[in-house]
Each structure stands twice: as C-alpha cells, then as structure tokens.
C-alpha cells in the first residue's frame, strides 16, 4: 500500500500535518480524527474575552481538508494499540496505521491544583481552551460591578503560550478602563520572570497606570489550591476572593498521549526533534503543545511548523529516505490594546533531544507607537494567514 497515516487532533499541529502529508504525496491515505466539527482557536480569544471580537471569528471547519482528500472522522480517539498499530475511536471503529501523529494539545494537571476540576471551571473558568470557557469569562467580566477585582492565576512553564496570560491581563484592563475604571486586575503568578516582561510592563504603565498588580512567585504568587464554592484562590502568601477568578491550571500533554504511552513523568512527550517520533514508542509522532520542544515556546506557529516538518519526515521515512533536519520558525504576537502590539520571533533547530533557538528576539522595548500599531496590524494578518493555511 502507499502508506496509511492517522492524525489525532485537528488543531494547528494536526491539521497542518494532515494537509502537508496529502500535498507531499496524494497517494497517502490520511485520516484525521477529531471530535469537534468546529475548531475554536485560542489565538485572539483574549480579544473575545475583552469584548473586542466575536467568537464566530475564532471558528473553523474541516470541509476544505475533506475536499483535499483527507478522511475526516468526527470522533475522539479512545484507545491506541501501538503493537498492532491501530487507533480506536469512541464509537468502536479501529483505524490501522503505518505512522501515527498525535497533536492533542493540552489537558490540565489537576492533581497539582487541589479543588480545581471540570465542575470548578464552571465558576472559576480557565478559558485556556477556547469556546464555552472563553464566553463564560467574558460574561463574568460583563456582570462584574465597577470597583471589582479580576484575578488571573498563571502557572509555571512549560505551558501553552507563555505570554498569553499577560496579554489577557492587558486586554481585560483595556475593557475595565473604559467600562469599570475603579476595578483592578490582580495577577497571581507561579513565575518570577516571564516572556517579554519589559514590553508588557512598559505597556501596562503607559496604558493602564496602576490598574494591573502582579504578585510574583517569590512574593507568594503561586496558587496552591482553590475553593470553587466560595471562589477562593489560595496562594503561598494568602487567600484571595476576587469578583472574577480566572485560574489557568498547570498543564500536560492531552490525555490520549498517556493512553498511547508516549508521555513521560513530566506529563509531556519526549521526541526525536528531527522526525518528531516518540522516544518511547516507535511509529508514533508527537507535534504541537504536547511534545517536549525545549526552547521552542508552545504556540500555534510552532505547532503548525512542527506539523509540516513532521509530515515531511514521515514521507521520507515511508519511502526509505533520510529525513531532513528541520529549521522551524515561530512568531508570537501580543496585542495589549487595540492598535498596540509587539512580538517574539525565533528560528529553532534540533540540538540533542530538543529544539534550541538559533536566532530570534523580541520587538524593541523603546519603540515609537507607530511600530506598536504596525505590529497590531501584522498580528491580524498573521491570524488570517495561519488560519487560511491550516483550515481555509
């Protein structure tokens, strides 16, 4: 046979991989297993929370992938037999593979946060998977009275999109400044330093005065438990009962990675960065947030670049050719107010078992407002380009 590849997860990593496989070799049988008919994307979902954008702008379907010859299976993968090489979906169907790609994104490491679970997320939203959670946090902000406190609890790294919690704090402050100016944003942080910190802190001072207060790890900012019935957040420093509580729990690879046996004790999946093949199970590749990428931040850009590089490696492996060494490019924009953006960009290459940054940097800290405005426009263009490339 020409080769059967099953891809689990139709987000930025999985959809990009499925498409690149089919484009590289039209004879490949490519099956994409994803439980949702509509993907709701996280980039720009902070704008939805702040009332600057509607959720519909975040939604994408799989019709174009199907039209390109990819079989779309609207089911969750429930079991994986890596001996007989088959993926079984929730309805009991089994799909055999020569190579399997997992791009399941993240799940929450709930043992690390007592009190927090799916039921708790109904009162204390995480909004770290876009969709109903995004809208719930927005509704809570809308219902809050002026003078209230919005707390955002941020986990340690590795986690999905390290700068996005600070972007969220910024856009919530933007919303409050115009609607409820006596309110506060309180960041409870399990880190001391964070991505693009100087850029964020400069923007906060310029745009929001002292509306945003941050309690860092060394000041006791790490959240140790929550009580959803009283909306209490317990930190190493003390207890907080904010009017709106947004707790982003610690994370690990999506649950199915554990089922397949490709996640290690860290909760993430070690890979060979040249092929994305699991270090633990042969013929299974892991891309996107779920893999242990080292220096490459977990982002949609990275997941997409990894998905494509993995597709190229699989095509080479199936035809007995040596895989090329990937050079991945990732760019991550932060929009902290309408017309005010900055970014982090990098090139990454395999070094040992991980990716190392070979080149990169952030926007300059001291830059005219025109550059911030231009980067906000570029961010929108980036969103249009990556979503068209993945789903359009």
Distance CA 19, CA 315 (A): 12
Query: Cis omega before residue 158 (within 30°)?
Result: yes
Closest to ligand FAD by CB, 236 or 261? 261
Rounded to 5 degrees, φ, ψ at 230 are: -110, 5
Give the residue with the Cβ less far from ligand FAD, 44 or 208.
44
Residue 368 C-beta: closest distance to ligand FAD, Å = 23
Taking alpha carbons only, the member of 251, 276, 248 closest to residue 165 is 248
What's the rounded Cα separation, in Å, for the pair 99 and 304? Answer: 18
What region does 381 belong to: left with phi over 0, alpha with psi -120 to 50, or beta? alpha
Give the length of the chain. 392
Q: How far is the CB of 329 from ligand FAD (least distance, A)?
A: 11
- We find the least distance from the C-beta atom of residue 103 to ligand FAD, in angstroms, to be 4
Binding footprint of ligand FAD on the chain (CB under 6 A): 8-14, 33-36, 39, 42-43, 45-46, 76-77, 103-105, 128, 160-161, 164, 254, 256, 288-290, 298-301, 303, 332-333
* Least Å from the CB of residue 229 to ligand FAD: 26
Would you say 146 or 359 has its CB closer to ligand FAD? 359
Nearest CB to ligand FAD, comparing residues 71 and 219 = 71
Minimum Å gap between C-beta 279 and ligand FAD is 18
Q: What CA dihedral angle connects 353, 359, 365 and 367, to 10 degrees?
A: -150
The nearer residue to ligand FAD, 75 or 182, going by C-beta atoms, is 75
Give me the least distance between CB of 299 and ligand FAD, in Å please.
3
Question: Looking at the DSSP assignment, which residues form a beta bridge with residue 269?
Answer: 291
Report which residue's Cβ sits closest to ligand FAD.
11
Q: Least distance in Å: CB of 147 to ligand FAD?
A: 26
* Burial letters 313-337, b for 16+ CB under 10 A, else e: bbbebbeeeebeebebebbbbbbbb
Is 221 or 254 the residue whose CB approaches ligand FAD more closely? 254
CA torsion sign, 296 to 297 to 298 to 299? negative
Give the residue with the Cβ less far from ligand FAD, 235 or 301.
301
* Cα distances (angstroms) measured from residue 245 to each of 109, 123, 154, 185, 218: 18, 8, 11, 10, 21
């Amino acid at each position: 046979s020409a080769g059967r590849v099953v891809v689990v997860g139709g987000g930025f990593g999985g959809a990009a991989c499925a498409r690149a496989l089919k484009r590289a070799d039209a004879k490949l049988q490519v099956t994409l297993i994803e439980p949702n008919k509509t993907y709701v994307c996280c980039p720009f979902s902070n704008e939805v929370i702040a009332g600057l954008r509607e959720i519909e702008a975040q939604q994408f379907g799989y019709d174009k992938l199907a039209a390109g010859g990819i079989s779309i299976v609207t089911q969750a993968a429930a079991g994986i037999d890596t001996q007989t090489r088959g993926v079984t979906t929730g309805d009991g169907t089994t799909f055999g593979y020569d190579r399997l790609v997992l791009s399941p994104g993240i799940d929450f490491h709930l043992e690390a946060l007592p009190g927090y679970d799916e039921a708790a997320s109904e009162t204390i939203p995480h909004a770290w998977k876009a969709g109903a959670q995004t809208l719930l946090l927005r509704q809570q902000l809308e219902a809050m009275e002026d003078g209230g406190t919005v707390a955002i609890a941020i986990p340690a790294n590795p986690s999905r999109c390290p700068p996005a919690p600070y972007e969220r704090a910024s856009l919530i402050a933007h919303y409050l400044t115009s609607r409820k100016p006596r309110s506060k944003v309180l960041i409870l942080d399990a880190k001391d330093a964070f991505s693009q910190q100087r850029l964020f802190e400069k923007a906060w001072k310029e745009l929001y005065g002292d509306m945003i207060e941050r309690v860092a790890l060394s000041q006791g900012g790490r959240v140790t438990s929550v009580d959803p019935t009283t909306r209490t957040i317990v930190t190493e420093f003390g207890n907080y009962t904010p009017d709106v509580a947004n707790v982003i729990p610690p994370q690990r690879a999506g649950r199915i990675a554990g089922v397949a046996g490709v996640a290690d004790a860290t909760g993430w999946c070690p890979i060979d960065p040249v092929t994305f093949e699991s270090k633990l199970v042969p013929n299974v590749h892991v891309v996107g947030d779920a893999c242990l990428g080292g220096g490459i931040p977990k982002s949609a850009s990275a997941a997409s670049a990894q998905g494509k590089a993995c597709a190229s490696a699989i095509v080479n492996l199936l035809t007995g050719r040596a895989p090329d060494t990937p050079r991945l490019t990732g760019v991550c924009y932060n929009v902290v107010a309408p017309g005010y953006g900055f970014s982090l960009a990098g090139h990454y290459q395999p070094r040992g078992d991980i990716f190392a940054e070979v080149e990169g940097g952030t926007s300059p800290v001291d830059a005219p407002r025109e550059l911030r405005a231009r980067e906000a426009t570029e961010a929108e263009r980036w969103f249009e380009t990556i979503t068209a490339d993945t789903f359009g």
